[in-house]
């Protein structure tokens, strides 16, 4: 005859063991699940970094090379300025500057002449593709030499996931990872002309006896909540909407890289979300509370 009380005790022991095993399984699955991101950033590839410490505050696909569109122009400007050619030299826009990797609207008409300085200005501020191409054509040795110098500069900056094939960024074969682009942004921020031109709100050029006003492609430069040191936007269909910048936040230099944003406003909204998140993460000691 079975002892009822003894049977009941063993039943509860078995139940307890089974519950413990279930809890352990759930805990294991929970610990293996990916952690949620600390801020809702919609861009597909992201890097946020404290420049001084190189501490990565936020990253998403930050080591994956992807098309960078007109972010390319930061590198074009770097090598053009490295060549130390006269910024006052006049350069003529030709048909070669219209024969680009993709059709591109421009108000720089064929036959118009501008100083190298003006072309740098609108290439960085307004992302003028004809300006960037004309600068590369007049680089010592021509356009191919300029592109070779861009790739050499990338290697010198230890941008190991980067490759350029044209000076405008219209070619989808211009690729880099967010980590590499952070290095490019920092290098560009050390050049006064790039800092000034990339963050200028507008610039006037005389085109065929008409004064035309060009505007910055990045509306954040007009936002008083931001102290932007250098920036560049970019867009082609393969790259999506892109934005890189270096800004001063709480007295610290922060680099933000946003690649492959969808829609017209996502990259700016992502930048704003990151800025507000970092506002909340700055501790009283002046250090980020981000692990």
- Catalytically active residues are 70, 73, 127
CA separation for the pair 128, 109 (Å, rounded): 12
CA separation for the pair 163, 147 (Å, rounded): 10
Closest C-alpha to 126, from 190, 192, 75, 201: 201
Query: What's the per-residue H, E or C state across 79-108?
Result: HHHHCCCCCCCEEECCHHHCCCCCCCCCCC
Contact (Cβ atoms closer than 8 angstroms) between residue 246 and residue 51 = yes
Residue 51 is classified by DSSP as T
Contact (Cβ atoms closer than 8 angstroms) between residue 276 and residue 249 = no
Residue 121's CB: how many other CB atoms inside 10 A? 24
């Amino acid at each position: 005859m079975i002892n009822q009380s003894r049977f009941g005790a063993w039943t509860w022991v078995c139940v307890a063991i089974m519950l413990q095993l279930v809890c352990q399984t759930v805990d294991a699955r929970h610990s293996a699940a990916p952690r949620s991101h600390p801020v809702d950033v919609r861009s597909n590839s992201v890097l946020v970094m404290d420049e001084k410490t190189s501490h990565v505050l936020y990253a998403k696909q930050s080591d994956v090379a992807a098309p960078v569109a007109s972010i390319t122009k930061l590198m074009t400007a770097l090598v053009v300025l490295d060549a130390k050619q006269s910024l006052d030299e006049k350069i003529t826009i030709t048909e070669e500057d219209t024969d680009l990797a993709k059709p591109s609207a421009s108000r720089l008409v064929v036959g118009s002449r501008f100083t190298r300085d003006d072309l740098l200005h609108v290439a960085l501020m307004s992302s003028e593709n004809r300006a960037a191409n004309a600068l590369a054509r007049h680089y010592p040795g021509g356009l191919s030499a300029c592109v070779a110098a861009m790739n050499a500069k990338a290697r010198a900056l230890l941008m190991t996931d980067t490759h350029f094939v044209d000076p405008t960024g219209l070619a989808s074969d211009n690729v880099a990872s967010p980590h590499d682009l952070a290095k490019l942004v920092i290098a560009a921020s050390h050049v006064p002309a790039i800092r000034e031109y990339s963050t200028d709100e507008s610039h006037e050029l005389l085109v065929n006896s008409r004064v035309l006003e060009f505007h910055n492609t990045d509306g954040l430069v007009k936002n008083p909540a931001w102290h932007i040191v250098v920036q560049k936007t970019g867009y082609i269909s393969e790259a999506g909407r892109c934005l890189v910048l270096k800004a001063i936040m709480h007295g610290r230099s922060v680099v933000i890289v946003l690649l492959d944003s969808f829609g017209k406003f996502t990259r700016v909204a992502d930048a704003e979300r990151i800025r507000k998140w970092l506002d909340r993460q700055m501790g009283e000691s002046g250090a980020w509370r981000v692990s």
